[in-house]
Amino acid sequence: MASYNLFLLPGDGIGPEVMTEVENILAWFSAQGIARFEIDRGLVGGCAYDAHGKAISEEHMARAMTADAVLFGAVGGPQWDKVPYDARPEAGLLRLRKDLGLFANLRPALCYPALADASSLKREVVEGLDILIVRELTGGVYFGEPKTITDLGNGQKRAIDTQVYDTYEIDRIARVAFDLARTRRKKVSSAEKRNVMKSGVLWHEVVTRIHQESYADVQLEHVLADNCAMQLVRWPKQFDVIVTDNLFGDVLSDVAAMLTGSLGMLPSASLGAPDGKTGRRKALYEPVHGSAPDIAGTGAANPIAMIASFGMALRYSFDLGDWADRIDQAIAIVLAKGVRTRDIAGDRPANASTTQMGAAILEELRAFA
Ligand code: NAD
């Protein structure tokens, strides 16, 4: 039986609540002999600050570096609003992304038929939607230098952010997108603004070359990022994989996310470069939502985003794609049966707590064994 080392960082607020539901599934996987997971747990975010004065300790960073995958809950909360900037809860996540070299952020937007009416778009536009946004995560305008605000001395200030991409950064994210498209419907849409940005010209050039050299079997289309936003709202099913830079990816993935309903439903994966020897990528899996302090401790949190993030870990880190599919199917069945936490209940009262939703999904998984 394959054995994997999984480092759990539940974090703050609802993070530990939704992580517990994944732990129940992990225990069942091990008991069934599907795979053995060596589980290690650590602190990140506000709870780590309370324990160590840092958003993540060096020891826990070192453990994250050696794990086969990191499962991350959520961080933050009002009680840590005034801690020093470098120790704020989010600094733990940023440190993990940076030190693990997680340059590729994968955000699926999947619309379960039972929830199609929860979208702000018409049912026929979103029902059956299954697209994947691949966002470059460690470069571009969020990190480029110079990044300054200068006092011009005449009552004016000047703010500068720098959008910068090197060939290798575009090359590696494009390969991730093409490789993923090969496992799906074999179409990549590359979004940039080459009409007004030099970084867009280089992006277009590099993606085109990688496609011609190595991925002729995948369909490639280029789309201007603003048009991509419009098309996502007009007819999102035209897309399969969208690859884009850090800034456009931030915006486009949020647009895509809202096509599908609640924040409590959205998983994500962040991947690093493949290891030269093993071919394995460093990886962190986390729900898109935050620590939801408004509902923490009430049992109202939807664990689906966290469970679906674990499903992504099965697919991308553990070669257990069949079980990742089964997790998606189990979620679809539970939703079709009408099980609803508060965030996806619409006008009706919720009929499931965090624990009940987790148990219902595990029950459906048992049926596949
Ligand atoms: P949030 O995602 O925590 O919550 C936004 C709204 O969505 C809230 O009403 C919340 O109750 C609801 N919600 C979120 N997840 C849910 C779930 N699983 N089930 C049901 N409802 C859910 O965003 P926020 O309120 O802007 O931020 C709260 C804290 O989380 C802040 O400290 C923020 O900095 C932090 N945050 C952390 C991350 C992260 O850890 N990656 C991401 C975003 C925000």
- pTM for the model stands at 0.94
**How confident is the model over 129-186, as pLDDT tens digits?**
999 999 999 999 999 999 999 999 999 999 999 999 999 999 999 999 999 999 999 9
Of 232, 258, 284, the last residue of a domain is 258
Same domain, 269 and 254: no
Among candidate residues 209, 226, 258, the one where a domain is terminated: 258
Q: What angle do CA 270, 273, 276 make, to 5 degrees?
A: 145
How much is the pLDDT for 262? 77
**b vs e for 213-238, b when ≥16 Cβ sit within 10 Å of the residue's Cβ?**
eebeebebebbbbeebbebbeeebee
- Please report whether residue 119 resides in a domain: no
86 is annotated as an active-site residue: no
Residue 113 included in any domain: no
Backbone φ and ψ for 279, nearest 5 degrees, come out as 80, -5
State how far the Cα of 288 lies from the Cα of 265, in Å rounded to an integer.
8
- Exactly one of 40, 99, 130, 142 is catalytic; name it: 142
Q: Are residues 138 and 239 in the same domain?
A: yes
5 and 94 both lie in a single domain = yes
205-209, 235-239, 252-256, 336-340: segment of lowest average pLDDT: 252-256
In a domain, 301, yes or no: yes
Mutation to probe ligand 1, out of 263, 268, 270, 306 (largest number of atoms < 8 A from CB) = 263
Statement to judge: residues 179 and 207 lie in one domain: yes
Residue 39 CA to ligand 1 centre (angstroms): 25
**Residue 114 placed within a domain:** no
Mean pLDDT over each residue of the chain, to the nearest integer: 95
Find the domain containing 60 and state its range.
1-104+265-369
Which atom of ligand 1 is nearest the CA belonging to 292?
A: 3
Which residue's C-alpha comes closest to atom 43 of ligand 1? 290
Which SS3 state, helix, strand or coil, does residue 53 take?
Answer: coil
* 226 noted as active-site residue: yes
Structural domain includes residue 205 = yes
Residue 111 covered by a domain: no
Q: Assess whether 98 and 18 both reside in one domain.
A: yes
Cβ within 8 Å of residue 204, ≥6 positions away? 190, 192, 194, 222
The CA distance from 208 to 109, in Å, is 25
Beta carbons of 223 and 236 less than 8 angstroms apart: no
The CATH number assigned to the domain holding 95 equals 3.40.718.10
Closest CA to 185 of 241, 129, 235, 268: 241
Which pLDDT value is given to residue 287?
96
Q: Is the per-residue pLDDT at 1 higher than 80?
A: no
Q: What percent of the chain has pLDDT over 70?
A: 100
- Residue 93 Cβ inside 6 Å of ligand 1? The answer reads yes
Same domain, 201 and 287: no
The per-residue pLDDT for range 272-313, each reduced to its tens digit, is 998 888 888 999 999 999 999 999 999 999 999 999 999 999
CA atoms within 13 A on the CB side of 119: 25
Q: Hey, whose CA ends up nearest to atom 38 of ligand 1? A: 290
Angle between helices 354-368 and 15-32 (to 10 degrees): 20
- Given pLDDT bands bounded at 50, 70 and 90, which one contains residue 211? very high
Helix (H) or strand (E) holding 150: strand 144-151
Place of tokens 């009262």: 349
Residue 206 to residue 209: CA distance in whole angstroms: 5
Residue 116 belongs to a domain: no
**CB of 293 shorter than 6 A to ligand 1:** yes
What does the radius of gyration of the chain's CA atoms come to, in whole angstroms? 21
Q: What is residue 259's predicted lDDT score, i.e. its pLDDT?
A: 85
Are 169 and 60 within one domain? no
* Cα–ligand 1 centroid distance for 29 (angstroms): 29
| CA 357 from centroid of its chain's CA atoms | 21
Are 179 and 290 part of one and the same domain?
Answer: no
Q: Note the helical H segments in the chain.
A: 15-32, 46-52, 58-66, 89-99, 123-126, 167-182, 198-214, 225-234, 246-258, 304-316, 321-336, 354-368
Could you tell me if 210 and 181 lie in one domain? yes
- Residues 164, 140 share a domain: yes
Ligand 1 within 6 A of CB of 264:
yes
Would the CB of 350 count as within 6 Å of ligand 1? no
Q: Which of 240, 258, 276 is the last residue of a domain?
A: 258
Q: Both 253 and 269 in a single domain?
A: no
CA 214, CA 225: separation in Å to the nearest integer?
A: 24
Average pLDDT over residues 111-140: 92
124 within domain boundaries? no
CB of residue 305 inside a 6 A radius of ligand 1: yes
Same structural domain, 153 and 247: yes
Q: Exposure string (b/e) for 88-124, b if CB count within 10 Å is 16 or more?
A: bbebbbebbbeebebbbbbbbbbbbebbbebbebeee
Helix (H, G, I), strand (E, B) or coil at 238: helix
Q: Based on the structure, what is the number of domains in the chain?
A: 2
